[in-house]
Structure 1
Amino acid sequence: MQRVYLDNAATTAIRPEVVDEMANVMKNVYGNPSSTHVFGREAKALIELSRKNIAQRLNVTSAEIYFTSCGTESNNTIIRSCVNDLDVTRIITTDLEHKCVLESVKDLEKREKVDVIRLNILKDGNIDYDQLEELIKDQSKKTLVSLMHANNEIGNLTDVKHIAKICQENNTLFHTDTVQTVGHYDLDLKDLGVDFASCSAHKIHGPKGAGFLYAKKATHIKPLISGGGQERGLRSGTENVYGIVGLSKSLDLALDELDAHISHIKEIKQYTIDQLKEAIPGVAFNGLSEDLEKSLYALLSIKLPFHDSLIGFELELAGIAVSQGSACSSGAAKVSLVMSTLYTDEEIDQMTPLRVSFSYETTKEDIDILISTLKKIAAKHQLQNA
C-alpha cells in the first residue's frame, strides 16, 4: 500500500542534507561547548556560527537569538518572563493560539498574576482588529499581546506588522508565535517590529528538539531555569550542538529554495481545492484557508459536509496521514477549541474538519489518492442519509 504524508504542519521529514550536516558534527565535534579546551571551542564555534547565520537570515542581531528545544519552550519562556520579570499584568490573546500559549496564559491567569483578555473572533477566523486597537490604547496596565502569525489549524495569517506598529505606539509588548511561518516566508523580524518570536526546526525539515526564540535586545527577559548560564544566561543546560547546526542548515535550505517551494506548494494547494470541489458537493473550507494569499499556503483546512469522527482512522487505513486539528490535540475525543470557537455545536454536528498540510515533496498523485479516498467516504455517508 502506498503511503501518503499530508501532515506537514505537525512535523516534516528531515532533509538528507540536514542529516549529513548533523552526522558530521556528531562524529567529529563532541566537546562540551562550555569547556575552554580546543574540543569545547570547536563546539562553541559551531553554535555561534549557526546563531550568526540565523540572525542574518532574519535581519536581527546574533545577541537577539537564543537556542531552545522547540517552539513550546520558546513561547513559555517569553510569556512567563514577561509576567514574572517584566511587570506585565495584562495579556491580550485569543482562543485560537497554539496550546503551549493557551496553557501558559491559563496558568498565569489561574495564579492571579495576570488579567487575560481573549479577543473576539470573526466568522472568517480573523481577530477583531478594531477591538484589539482599542484595548492596546488603554495603558493602565503593562500589557503583552500574544498572537500567532499563522494559525496552525485553519491557516489564517495575522497582520503582525500592523499590530506591532500599534503596540510600539502604545508601549505594549508584542509576542508572535512564528513556528508555522519561519522558513515558509522570507521574514524580516526587524521590519515586522515584533518584540518576541519563536521557531521549531522540525517544521522546516530540520531535527526535532531544536528551536530558537527571538527577543528584541531591549526586552531583557529572564530564564525559566537556573544552571550553568548557557545561552547568555537565558537557557542553562549543555547545548544541543548538532541540533542547532541542523536548525541552521534547514533554515538555509528552506530560504534558498523558497520561491520554488512556494510556487510548487501553492499549485498543489489550488489543485487540492479544485479536486475537492469537483469530487464532494458541499465541501467548504475553514477560516480563510481557501485564500492562498490570506492563509498559510502550505495548509488547507477542509470542512466536509458530513459528520465522521473516525475519518482520521479511515484515511490511515488507506495509507494517508492527515490531521483533524493540531498535532498537540489530535488524540483528543472532543472537537478542538479552534473549531468550537468558529462554529456552534449544531454546525459541528453536521461537518467534519480535516487539516491537510503540504511540503515541497507533496505531489498531485498524493492528492489524487486523498481525493479518491474522501470521495468513497463521502459516498458512504450519502447512502446512509438517503
Structure 2
Amino acid sequence: MSKYIYMDNSATTPVKKKVLDEMIPYFTENFGNPSSIYSLGSNSKVAVEKAREQVARALGADKNEIYFTAGGSESDNWALKGIASKHKNKGNHIITTKIEHHAVLHTCEYLHKNGFEITYLNVDKDGLIDLKELESAITDKTILISIMFANNEIGTIQPIKEIGEIAKSKNIIFHTDAVQAIGNVRIDVKELNIDLLSLSAHKFYGPKGMGALYIRKGLQIDPLIAGGGQERNKRAGTENVPGIVGLGKAIELAYENLEEHNEKLIKLRERLINGIQENIKYTRINGHRTKRLPGNVNVCFEFIEGESLLLSLDIEGIAGSSGSACTSGSLDPSHVLLAIGLPHEIAHGSLRLSLGDFNTEEEVDYVIAKLVKIVDRLRNMSPLYDKIKEAK
C-alpha cells in the first residue's frame, strides 16, 4: 500500500473540502472585523451568527448560549475557572474524575492551589464512574461537577444523562468536556441537563485552534479573557471569522450524516479489534466494549514498549498514538490506563488507533498484518517474553 494510513483521528482530523470552501472567502474578500459597522464588517458578523446557529442546532441549544473560543482547552479552563470564581461564595468543592483530559486536571490543580477542594472519582476497569460514588462525594460546598462525555484515550462514554439528573437534583452546575463526543454522539444539552459543554472543531473535520463553550442561559460565569466586548462581553478578542465559519460548517456536516458515519466506523472498529485479538496473543482491549466511541480502538500489547511500536508503525506508513496527543512527549504511562487498573509495565505497551471517515477496510487489514509482524519482532527482543516462551 503506497499511501500513508492515518489512524489518529482522536488527535486531529483533516479539514473537509466543504468546510475549507466555506472558510476561504473569510481569509480574502470577506476579511472584515465583525465589530466594524461598515458592510465589510457586517458580512463577517452575519457569518459568525450563522455559525453560532449551526452549533446551537447541533446541541439542542439556543444560539445565545454558544460562545466561541480558541479550542477545547480554553473552553475547559473557562468553564472551571469561570464557575469557581463566580460561585466561590456558595462553596469551594469541585468533583471530577481521574481520567479527565489534562485541560481539566491541570485546571483543577490550579484551583486547588487557590483554595478549592477537588474530589477525583475512581473509574472501573472499563473507565466508567460509579454513580453512587458521585452522589456520596457531593457536599453542601459542591458547586461544580465536571465529567467528560467520552474519554479521549479509551473511548468510554460516561452515563451523562444520569450524571446530569444527579447534578440538577442537587442544584449543582454540571460541565462536560465533549471534545471527543461531538460528531460521534447525538447530544441534546437540555435533555441531558448539561449546564456547560466544551467542544473543539478539529476533532470533527474542522480547523484547529477553534472551539466553543455552551453556557446555559441564566448561568453566571466570570470571563476568562479580558479586553473588548466580543461574545456578549464574555470572551474578549477579535473573532477568528474563518475558524468560526469552519466550525459551524463542520458541525453541521457531522450531524447530517451521523448515523452513516457511526455505522461505518463501528464496522471498521470491530474488524480491527477482532483482527488484533485473533492474530496477536497477550493483548488487552481497553475501554468499555460497547459504550465507546465508534472509531476508538485502544489496546495494550504485553512485553513491548508503546514508543517502539509507534515508531515501527510510522516506518510502515501508519499513524497511531499511545494515548492523548497532548501528552505524547511524556515518558510516563497514561494516567487513564493506570486509573482503570493496569500495571505500569502493561500500560507502557498501549496503542490507540482512532478511525475516521476516510479509513477503509483495506487499510484496516493492512494495519492488522503489519501489527502482527511488528509486535512479534519487538517481543522477540524482550527478555520478559523469552521467559514466557521458555515456560511453555
The TM-score, its normalising length taken from structure 1, stands at: 0.95
Aligned to 1:91: 94
Aligned to 2:324: 326
| In structure 2, C-alpha distance between the alignment counterparts of 1:219 and 1:142, rounded to whole Å | 16
Q: Does the 8 Å CA contact 2:300/2:346 hold for their aligned counterparts?
A: no
Aligned to 2:234: 234
Superposition map of 1:176-325 within 5 A: 176-288=176-288, 291=289, 293-309=290-306, 310-325=308-323
Aligned-residue offset at 1:257: 1.2
Aligned-residue offset at 1:294: 0.6
Determine if the alignment matches structure 1 residue 367 to structure 2 residue 367. Answer: no
Q: Does the 8 Å CA contact 2:304/2:379 hold for their aligned counterparts?
A: no
| In structure 2, C-alpha distance between the alignment counterparts of 1:295 and 1:60, rounded to whole Å | 24
Determine if the alignment matches structure 1 residue 134 to structure 2 residue 136. Answer: yes
Aligned-residue offset at 1:377: 1.9
Structure 1 segments unaligned to the other structure (5+ residues): none
Determine if the alignment matches structure 1 residue 356 to structure 2 residue 362. Answer: no
| In structure 2, C-alpha distance between the alignment counterparts of 1:255 and 1:118, rounded to whole Å | 32
| In structure 2, C-alpha distance between the alignment counterparts of 1:357 and 1:2, rounded to whole Å | 18
| In structure 1, C-alpha distance between the alignment counterparts of 2:324 and 2:345, rounded to whole Å | 20
Question: Which digits, 9 at most, give the CA deviation of each residue in 1:226-266, with x for residues without a partner?
Answer: 11110001110100011101001011111111111111111
Aligned-residue offset at 1:345: 3.6
Aligned-residue offset at 1:347: 5.0
Cα root mean square deviation, aligned = 1.5
**What is the SS of the residue equivalent to 2:299?**
strand
The amino acid across from 1:74 in the alignment is S
- Return structure 1 stretches of 4+ with deviation > 6 angstroms: none
The amino acid across from 2:84 in the alignment is V
Question: Which digits, 9 at most, give the CA deviation of each residue in 1:310-346, with x for residues without a partner?
Answer: 1111111111100101010011111121122223546
Question: Which digits, 9 at most, give the CA deviation of each residue in 1:255-298, with x for residues without a partner?
Answer: 1111111111111001001111121023221121xx2x311112
Aligned-residue offset at 1:367: 1.2
Instruction: Select between 239-248 and 37-46 the one with higher mean Cα deviation.
Output: 37-46
**What is the SS of the residue equivalent to 2:145?**
strand
Distance 1:346 1:67, change over 3 A: closer
Aligned residues: percent identity?
Answer: 39
| In structure 1, C-alpha distance between the alignment counterparts of 2:328 and 2:31, rounded to whole Å | 37
Structure 2 segments unaligned to the other structure (5+ residues): none
The amino acid across from 1:331 in the alignment is G
**What is the SS of the residue equivalent to 2:321?**
coil
Distance 1:300 1:38, change over 3 A: same
Q: Does the 8 Å CA contact 2:8/2:319 hold for their aligned counterparts?
A: yes
**What is the SS of the residue equivalent to 1:296?**
coil
**What is the SS of the residue equivalent to 1:12?**
coil
Aligned-residue offset at 1:79: 0.2
The TM-score, its normalising length taken from structure 2, stands at: 0.93
Determine if the alignment matches structure 1 residue 36 to structure 2 residue 49. Answer: no
Superposition map of 1:130-169 within 5 A: 130-136=132-138, 138=139, 140-169=140-169
**What is the SS of the residue equivalent to 2:190?**
helix
| In structure 1, C-alpha distance between the alignment counterparts of 2:379 and 2:50, rounded to whole Å | 58
Aligned to 2:373: 376
Aligned to 1:343: 341
Determine if the alignment matches structure 1 residue 66 to structure 2 residue 67. Answer: yes
